[in-house]
Amino acid sequence: VAFYGVNWGAASFYFRDLCLAAPFYQNACQLLYESLVAYADLYAVAQDWCPAEALYQEALGQQRSTELRDKLTEAQEGCLLATPTPEAGGITNTLPITNSTGTEP
């Protein structure tokens, strides 16, 4: 409960467990829903659509609303258009960096 409104990622993490174990304790499931939407909104503002899509989808499993459905649709469209993250392999077919200046002393 202490993370609510301060750290949406942590709040979502803890409210998931609390909602499963004790759904009526201090409106745990409602607070989970609100945390998920707020966390997804943070990603959406940063135009990081794919994590936002997953969080909106999870929130939609908690409660259904037209506003949330619209946010999910926007995130899905944004995620489809997102530039893929390059693989960790780096650029291929390049020459290695050397310490030489190209002229011999």
Instruction: Tell which residue, 80, 87, 73, 70, has the closest CA to residue 50.
Output: 80
Burial class (CB in 10 A: 0-12, 13-18, 19+), 89: exposed
Q: Is 97's pLDDT higher than 60?
A: yes
> What's the pLDDT at 82?
81
Mean confidence (pLDDT) of the chain: 88
Higher pLDDT, 15 or 89: 15
Structure tokens belonging to residue 75: 């995130």
User: pTM for this structure?
Assistant: 0.77
What are 28-55's pLDDT values in tens digits? 999 999 999 999 999 999 999 999 999 9
